[in-house]
Amino acid sequence: MFFIEQLILLAAILILLGIFSSKLSARLGLPMLVLFLIIGMLAGEDGLGRISFDNPELAHAMGTLALALILFDGGLQTPIGAIKKVWKPASSLATFGVLFTALITGAAASYILPITLLEGLLLGAIVGSTDAAAVFSLLRNAGIHLNTRLKSTLEIESASNDPMAIFLTVALLQVLVNDMPFGIELAFLFLQQMGLGALVGISVGYVLIRLINRINLQASGLYPVLVTASGLLSFGLAANLGGSGFLAIFITGVIIGNRKFAFQKTTFLFHDGLAWLSQITMFVVLGLLITPSALLSVWWQGLVIALVLMFIARPLAVIPLLKIFGFNAREITLVSWVGLRGSVPIILAIFPLMFGLASAELIFNVVFFVVLLSATLQGWSLPLVARRLKLIEPPPLSAPATLEITTLGDVDAEIVEYTLAETSKAANRRLSQLALPEGAVVAMITRDGQVVPPRGSTILRAGDHLFVVSKHDYKPLLELAFAEEGYVAGEKPTLLRMKGTSRLSEIVRSYNLGVELENDYTLEELFKERHPAPAEQGSELQIGGVLFKVEDAMNGRILTVTITQNNKETPLPNS
């Protein structure tokens, strides 16, 4: 076999082992990154595979690409509303929190290891960023839900603190290797990295959104590729201009993820899979790079530094910052404990090897040991800590699970699959009873692998998959109609376009309409009963803060009615 054929076979085997090992994560209560690292170590020269891999440059290149794709996917899935709510505490943790953690850990490392203070600070900077995002897979597996503010703070901190750790690492290497003085040059480097990274990320994100909604690609599979290429463009432009590519690609992801565009669900699924492939590849390669026997020579130093990081540095960095923003003692304790280290420290630990620093190998081995211990101990114990701190909340009501099937070309319509939950508003009701927007059609229902004809008499069941053809802007309405009982969207829909035969009680139930009437009218009956004259196209009826208007009528029959409601619960002016 040629070398490339052997390499493809080996890569496939290692990736498959990584995927199968993910099944053990929930059972063992360990973050998947630990299992991926162990697979790489077992495949390495000291393990069962006996694969010799000693190429830090290649590992750094693969790790950088993988990390960029992971951050891009994180940005795509970060709601802008969550950022607005917690950007102050999250950004403080992502900057000052990383800095304080690095200073305290670095000072301790310089005493514990035979290295200088600057080299100790370099080690502290390398382990300064957290990988709290890995924790949420454990929380989901354990069925644990945190309050929105706490969860958002942890997620956004973990997604945005990598640029600060990277800056500190590069800056300290410049001081150690190139004798760059502390002061204005370092301050300029910081502003350049963050400023250019943010500027490029915002610019590429907004340009792509304008492009993707205007371009008409023949192959639908090219849309996810277009989004991926744009993210990598953002990273490459920022890095080559001297900015932070990681910050740029994350911001681009946030901008794209919070806008509507063609094949959005498909794109999100594509990037979720790409991020998983990146994580598996990156951790397995990093596991191959380490020699397990080398960890034994630094085990006690690594243990002490890890304990300092977990029990001293992280809490001292977190407590004063979160106190300012009004977090209580239990929440601060949890955030202090969710200082789980992940991929970024190991990738950054390769930098000293590439720069030829004398203590580079020692720093790499210690960082690897610290990450392995932190991920194992903090990741395994997190559900227990959350329970002991009584921070677990009931699972929130949610919109139905959706899957975008296809967008119908130039037509303003798409086919979307909705899965009904146990407590869905639509469960155990006849299809004819649902108050679906005018023009939305249930084209097919599948249940237990069988197709159920979508007739008006069909009774919907929990677990049913409904394939609905509707306009693009109907998605929020349909999500409300099929959501769990009691679910309330961020804002009530301000405009509904309903069939005249739709019953008002069903509309109120499905869309949280602010109207209460004694009789259960259809919209057509409502106009006949309440309107002073026979209703025709353009006729209006005001009830409280809700305005009903006949959109379409024929031969005395009301076919379509638009319903406008004021989210501020004040009456709308009569036209």
Highest mean pLDDT among 40-49, 151-160, 384-393, 514-523: 384-393
Domains, the chain: 3-388 (1.20.1530.20), 397-490 (3.30.70.1450), 493-575 (3.30.465.10)
Q: Look up residue 359 and give its DSSP letter.
A: T
Q: Check residue 316 and give its pLDDT.
A: 94
382-386, 454-458, 556-560: the lowest-pLDDT one: 382-386
- The answer to whether 290 and 52 have CB atoms below 8 angstroms apart is no
Beta strand residue intervals within 357-454, DSSP E: 401-407, 414-419, 441-447, 450-452
Give the contacts of 559 (CB within 8 A, at least 6 positions apart): 499, 500, 551, 552, 553
Determine the pLDDT at residue 234.
94
User: In this predicted structure, what is the pLDDT of residue 119?
Assistant: 92
Confidence of residue 41 (pLDDT cuts 50, 70, 90): confident
Beta bridge partners of 465: 419, 446
Q: What is the pLDDT of residues 323-348, one digit of tens each?
A: 999 899 999 999 898 877 777 888 88
Identify the pLDDT of residue 332. 92
User: What ranges in 77-183 are assigned the alpha helix state H?
Assistant: 80-92, 98-112, 117-126, 133-141, 148-160, 162-178
* % pLDDT > 90, the chain: 17
Whether 363 and 122 have beta carbons less than 8 Å apart is answered as yes
**Residue, of 51 and 191, whose pLDDT is higher:** 191
pLDDT score of 318 more than 90: yes
- Residue 239 DSSP class: H
**What pLDDT does 40 receive?**
79
Q: Answer yes or no: is pLDDT of 575 > 50.
A: no
DSSP three-state, residue 376: helix
pLDDT digits (tens, 9 = 90+) for 90-144: 889 988 999 999 999 999 999 999 999 999 999 999 998 887 556 666 666 666 7
pLDDT confidence of residue 304: 94
**What is the pLDDT, as a whole number, of residue 134?**
64
Predicted pLDDT at 3? 66
Separation CA 361–CA 367 (nearest Å): 10
